[in-house]
Amino acid sequence: MPVAQSQPSAEDPGSALRGAADALLAASPDAVVVIDAGGLIVLANPAVEALFGYPPDELVGQLVEVLLPTELRDGHVAERRAYAAHPRGRPMGAGLRLVGRRRDGTQLPIDVALAPVPGGSEPLFGAFIRDATEQRRAEARLAAINEISQALLAGRTATTLWTMAARHARTLSGAAWAAALLPHGGGDTPLIVAGDGEGFDALIGRDIDWPRTFAGPVMRGLDPSAVTDAADAELGGGFDVGPALALSVADAERVFGTLLIARRSGSPPFGPTDVAVLEAFTYATAVALALGEARADLERLTMIEEHDRIARDLHDTVIQRLFATGMSLAAVQRLTTDAVAARISQAVEELDDTIRQIRSTIFELQQQPGASLRRQVQEVVADVAALMSSAPRVAFDGPIDTMVPEEVTAHLLAVVREALTNVARHADARAVDVVVSLDAGDLVLLVTDDGVGPPEGPTAGNGLRNMATRAERLGGRCSVTARRPRGTVLEWRVPLG
């Protein structure tokens, strides 16, 4: 029953104290129930209804286990009896992960403080109950950021990190799906690179026209955007989406990407608390990504210094010695017979070829990693490799780092990502090879796999059309042919002028 409001009397100090206690109990923001030694509720304050949905009158006379999930009730009876045998005060949030059950059957995390109630003829015990939802979310947010930070320090791939971010964003918000969207090929349309939720793998690699939706402004670093129904997002794949929320993963200097979180249709919309929790998470994720990039930059500087040292040693020591050996052999060649002279001439040519190869290696070592087309291609391959059963093999032929202009580089990287994404989604391949080369003034990309082969009829996607369009803009061409005995060969060829 509701807490009785006693009328204090000037002649009865005890009555005044009881009235004050009743008033405090009624005004308490925490739900309070008092139980007897048998576990029956003998008193409940009004806050119980706000937390559990039970009017105080309805709870009086019921076992306290009515406030617990069914599967936990038997175990709680034994714990309650053990506590009644040795009662003691226990503070709220004492390291226990407790769960309550509302009248409508839904569950919620709770913290409970216990204390014996003195003064009665029979033992009574008070339970002070508080909703722990936000505390658990804060703990989960810290754990998520810690996991992402550790993965960054361990050198995990970008795809892995974004997959983790999507998973944590989904669980923190109680959503059905979450996706990570990153800029794609230097254009305005982002690419879904990672996601979490049942069936969401089917969307990886799609370049849905998100900028035309509610998420567009968010991708430019603006405030979070929420809608109550995202059915017009045209996800496809039978996704029954309802409320959706888009947030940029950004710090004070840049936008790293966008997280899109969606609930099923008919679910409650994202409220201010959801947005606040996810904003704190995305900002912390951006800080972790920025720190990870700073650490990677420091490692690259260290690597550059080491490469410079190796290049100097190769040039100042190895090449000089090989050159001196070649000169000595050339001098001896004039003093020998024709047969021996031919052998010496062959050895000198091999030394010259070795010197050329070492000089090429020195040139590659002295290239800054951030400016190297080879490294950019390898980074794209590493990103998409997380979607494959085995990492693609990558090879280069020719001075592509110096001969390929920046405009062509942007198109090449986009085509590499698109081609490998198509392989990951459709080919069911065990081996994939990526070769970037220079051939008679053309830049050539070959992507071969041993999968199911190219589609026989027209395809529904835009991937192949996009790659062909990029080649045509540069005056080149793109072809997809079957490979024997199985698989596909994609050749993307553009002139370098």
pLDDT classification of 252: cutoffs 50, 70, 90 = confident
124, 42 Cβ separation under 8 angstroms:
yes
Report the pLDDT value the prediction gives residue 54, as an integer from 0 to 100: 92
In a shared domain, residues 92 and 189: no
Report the pLDDT value the prediction gives residue 362, as an integer from 0 to 100: 67
Q: Name which of 84-88, 302-306, 381-385 the model is least confident about.
A: 302-306
Domain end among 79, 98, 131: 131
Q: How far is CA 317 from CA 307, 321, 345, 348, 362, in A?
A: 15, 6, 23, 18, 13
Neighbours of 403 (CB within 10 A): 13
Judge whether 53 lies within some domain. Answer: yes
What is the torsional sign of CA 383, 387, 389, 395?
Answer: negative
CB-based contacts of 267, cutoff 8 Å, min separation 6: 176, 242, 243
The answer on pLDDT for 17 being more than 60 is no
Judge whether 158 lies within some domain. Answer: yes
The answer on pLDDT for 221 being more than 70 is no
The answer on pLDDT for 8 being more than 50 is no
275, 245 Cβ separation under 8 angstroms:
yes
In a shared domain, residues 141 and 127: no
117, 34 Cβ separation under 8 angstroms:
yes
CB-based contacts of 377, cutoff 8 Å, min separation 6: 394, 396, 412, 413, 416, 434, 436
134, 142 Cβ separation under 8 angstroms:
no
Q: Name which of 120-124, 177-181, 426-430 the model is least confident about.
A: 120-124
172, 140 Cβ separation under 8 angstroms:
yes
- CATH number, domain of 403, equals 3.30.565.10
The answer on pLDDT for 4 being more than 50 is no
Domain end among 105, 131, 157: 131
Total domain count, the chain: 3
In a shared domain, residues 205 and 262: yes
- CATH number, domain of 66, equals 3.30.450.20
Residues 262 and 180: their CA atoms lie apart, in Å, by 12
- CATH number, domain of 148, equals 3.30.450.40
Judge whether 480 lies within some domain. Answer: yes
Highest mean pLDDT among 152-161, 332-341, 381-390, 484-493: 484-493
Instruction: Give pLDDT tens digits for 18-52.
Output: 666 667 777 788 889 998 988 899 889 998 998 99
In a shared domain, residues 283 and 152: yes
Report the pLDDT value the prediction gives residue 326, as an integer from 0 to 100: 76
pLDDT classification of 7: cutoffs 50, 70, 90 = very low
In a shared domain, residues 88 and 178: no
In a shared domain, residues 112 and 202: no
Domain end among 73, 102, 131: 131
Give the single-character DSSP code of 104.
Answer: T
In a shared domain, residues 118 and 161: no
CB-based contacts of 98, cutoff 8 Å, min separation 6: 109, 110, 111, 112, 132
Residues 14 and 449: their CA atoms lie apart, in Å, by 87
Report the pLDDT value the prediction gives residue 184, as an integer from 0 to 100: 59
Report the pLDDT value the prediction gives residue 162, as an integer from 0 to 100: 83
pLDDT classification of 351: cutoffs 50, 70, 90 = confident
In a shared domain, residues 282 and 148: yes
In a shared domain, residues 92 and 160: no
Q: How far is CA 44 from CA 33, 93, 285, 327, 434, in A?
A: 4, 21, 43, 101, 70
DSSP annotation string for 405-472? -HHHHHHHHHHHHHHHHHIIIII--S-EEEEEEEETTEEEEEEEE-SS---SS--SSSHHHHHHHHHH
CB-based contacts of 463, cutoff 8 Å, min separation 6: 418, 419, 421, 422
Q: Which residue has the tokens 């059950």?
A: 101
**Average pLDDT of span 187-192:** 64
The answer on pLDDT for 369 being more than 70 is no
**Average pLDDT of span 63-83:** 88
Judge whether 84 lies within some domain. Answer: yes
Give the single-character DSSP code of 194.
Answer: E
Residues 396 and 5: their CA atoms lie apart, in Å, by 85
In a shared domain, residues 100 and 223: no
DSSP annotation string for 213-231? STTHHHHTT---EEES--G
User: Could you tell me whether strands 124-131 and 31-36 are parallel, antiparallel, or unpaired per DSSP bridges?
Assistant: antiparallel
**Average pLDDT of span 202-216:** 63
The answer on pLDDT for 177 being more than 80 is yes
Residues 54 and 7: their CA atoms lie apart, in Å, by 26
Instruction: Give pLDDT tens digits for 275-321.
Output: 888 888 888 888 878 877 777 667 666 766 776 777 777 777 777 77
Judge whether 455 lies within some domain. Answer: yes
Report the pLDDT value the prediction gives residue 416, as an integer from 0 to 100: 92
Comparing CA positions, the residue from 481, 472, 478 lying closest to residue 492 is: 478
Mean pLDDT for all residues in the chain = 79
Instruction: Give pLDDT tens digits for 425-448.
Output: 888 888 899 999 988 889 999 999
Report the pLDDT value the prediction gives residue 434, as an integer from 0 to 100: 93
The answer on pLDDT for 238 being more than 80 is no
The answer on pLDDT for 373 being more than 80 is yes
In a shared domain, residues 396 and 441: yes
Q: Name which of 153-157, 341-345, 394-398, 474-478 the model is least confident about.
A: 153-157
Range of the structural domain that residue 405 is part of: 388-497
Q: How far is CA 32 from CA 43, 128, 195, 272, in A?
A: 8, 5, 42, 28
Report the pLDDT value the prediction gives residue 350, as an integer from 0 to 100: 80
The answer on pLDDT for 271 being more than 90 is no
